[in-house]
A = this chain, B = another copy of it.
Amino acid sequence: MASLPNGHTAKKLDIVVVGGGLVGSLEALYLAKRGHRVRLYEYREDIRETPQARGRSINLALSIRGRRALKDVGLEQHMIENHGIPMVGRMIHKLDGTTYAIPYDARTNQCIYSVGRNYLNGMLLKESENYENVERYFNHKLIEANLKKGSLTFTKTDTKEEVKVNADLVIGADGAFSAVRKAMMKQPLFDYSQKYIEHGYLELCIPSNANGGFQMPANYLHIWPRGTFMMIALPNQDCSWTVTLFMPFTNFKKLDSKEKLLQFFEKYFPDSIPLIGKKKLIEDFFSGSPSPLVSVKCRPYNVDDKALIIGDAAHAVVPFYGQGMNAGFEDCTLLDQLMQKYKDDLPRVLEEFSDTRWKDTYAISDLAMYNYVEMRDLVTRPSYRIRKAFDDLIFWAFPNFWVPLYNSVTFTTMPYSKCVENRRWQNKVLFSVIVAFMIFTMFGLFYVRN
């Protein structure tokens, strides 16, 4: 899978990436390919040597923006062919246990892929070992940062030893609770917002069946939409399903006994009980507690030409558009394109990234917030299905002229803010057509009467 550094840069930079998660380890590959020296510092142990930690999603939906990034570093084909499970649409579970499918793209059968966080992260880290110019340091916790100077202090979580590091550029890819961003907040004129939604999530599991196969149709994202709450399930490589229950914290609190839990599931998710298994449902539900969901927006993303934040550190979003990882991966792609454009001239690269990227991350953040309502509620309404059918029809007839919102976000690399603008334009067109139709009908009636 490896490819040697192509060394097309004017000057070899010394870059520190904080955070060895999905975005950090991908960014290390992009930078390594450009020939820079990369040191990757991660707070946790090497993910390849640890079991899956609870409290972070187990699997994720990979779509075109993420795929493009993996392609750039030579890993897309491997991922799609060997690991990802294609999902061609949503499968809705009704209260009575019956289901129906809503394809994402009936026209060309485009799909998203369910991928394991640990597998993907491990693959990216492993690939970085093929580059001599990448060094990996695990168990390093960032405790102090002078971003204007590019100097960082870590403590080793095992030995408590202090480590001081200097770099030409610090890239913070250390997630929603980023320590690099915390240091950035001290800068004047830094806009920042963090918002917790009133819903938490809790993960459950549907195991594989007796023959080691899937218990539900594998190639769908399964949804149990219940208005103010919902459950979803994404397939895993081992034919199990990771099931996630999203619900207001206040509702979680009410389910404080086995009886109440089972009653609740029998009322709202009856078909899921035999799939999960009563015993396992009770065990998994009460062994964890619901995790919060935070949405973070901020800007600018850089401190001069010395520091930059990307991924969740720059724009944590709620998970309902399946775009968190994809947006983070797209950051890496766009940063690479700017480095190419400006020949690694950091002042220009960082300024342009910061000035342009926020519009799109703010847009996907708002879309993700909106999509929760769509997934848990609107999706079951006739108005939604009529609009979706209508969108699909025009899309089918004029694929270049009318791309529905979900499709533009998931299956194109159109900037997120353009996707939103595009949708607004479609709404206007639709509104005009309806008004024109009504006027036409009225005149028609008038004509007929006279």
Residues of chain A touching chain B, judged by Cβ–Cβ distance below 8 Å, are 188-196, 292
Task: Decide: B193 and A189 in contact? CB cutoff 8 A.
Answer: no
A195 to B196, CA, bound (A): 18
Cβ contacts A to B, 15 pairs, < 8 Å: A188-B196, A188-B292, A189-B196, A189-B292, A190-B194, A190-B196, A191-B194, A191-B195, A191-B196, A192-B192, A192-B193, A192-B194, A193-B193, A193-B194, A193-B195
Q: A188-B196, A188-B292, A190-B196 are in contact. List 4 more A-B contacts (CB 8 A).
A: A189-B196, A190-B194, A191-B195, A192-B193
Question: Which residues does chain B contribute within 8 Å of A292, judged by CB atoms?
Answer: 188-189
Chain B residues in 8 Å Cβ range of A190: 194, 196
CA distance A192 to B194 in the complex (A): 5
Q: Report the bound CA distance from A191 to B195 in whole Å.
A: 5
**Cα distance, A196 to B190, chains bound together (Å):** 7
Q: Which 5 A-B pairs have the closest CB atoms?
A: A193-B193, A189-B196, A191-B195, A192-B194, A189-B292
- Complex formed: what's the CA distance from A196 to B299 in Å? 10
- Rounded to whole angstroms, the CA-CA distance of A239 and B194 in the bound complex is 45
Residues in B neighbouring A194, C-beta threshold 8 A: 190-193
Q: What is the CA–CA distance of A193 and B194 in the complex, to the nearest angstrom? A: 6
State how many angstroms separate the Cβ of A401 from the closest Cβ of chain B: 36
A190–B192 Cα gap in the complex (Å)? 13
A188 cross-chain contacts in B, Cβ below 8 A = 196, 292
A364 to nearest B CB, angstroms?
18
Which of chain B's residues have a CB closer than 8 A to the CB of A189?
196, 292
CA–CA, A60 to B213, complex, Å?
Answer: 72
A193 to chain B: which residues have CB within 8 Å? 192-195
CA distance A196 to B188 in the complex (A): 9
Q: Closest approach, in angstroms, between the C-beta of A106 and any C-beta of chain B? A: 40
In the assembled complex, the Cα of A158 lies from the Cα of B63 at a distance in Å of 58
Please, which residue of chain B has its CB at the minimum distance from the CB of A188? B292
Could you tell me the distance in whole angstroms from the C-beta of A253 to the nearest C-beta in chain B?
13
Q: Give chain B nearest CB distance to A314 CB in angstroms.
A: 16
**In the complex, A189 Cα to B197 Cα: how many Å?**
8
Chain B residue nearest in CB terms to A192: B194
List residues of chain B with CB within 8 A of the CB of A192: 192-194
Which residues of B are found within 8 Å of A196, using beta-carbon distances?
188-191
Measured CA separation A292–B188 after assembly (Å): 8
Q: Nearest-CB distance from A37 to chain B (Å)?
A: 35
- Shortest A297–chain B CB gap in Å is 8
A78–B292 CA distance with the chains assembled, in angstroms: 51
When chains A and B are docked, how far (Å) is the Cα of A191 from the Cα of B197? Answer: 9
Q: For the complex formed, measure the closest distance between the CB of A298 and the CB atoms of chain B, giving whole angstroms.
A: 9
Q: A61 to nearest B CB, angstroms?
A: 26
Chain B nearest CB from A302 CB (Å) reads 16
Closest to A249 in B: B189
Q: CA A193 – CA B295 in complex, angstroms?
A: 11
Complex-state Cα separation, A189 to B250, whole angstroms? 13
Would you give the shortest CB distance from A256 to chain B, in whole angstroms?
A: 20
CB distance from A190 to the nearest CB of B (A): 7
A362 to chain B, nearest CB (A): 12
Q: Which residue of B lies closest to A191 (CB)?
A: B195
What's the Cα separation between A226 and B191 when bound, in Å? 26
Q: How far is the CA of A194 from the CA of B195 in the complex (A)?
A: 12
Nearest residue in B to A194 (C-beta to C-beta)? B192
Q: How far is the CA of A193 from the CA of B190 in the complex (A)?
A: 10
Distance (whole angstroms) from the CB of A351 to the closest CB of chain B: 15
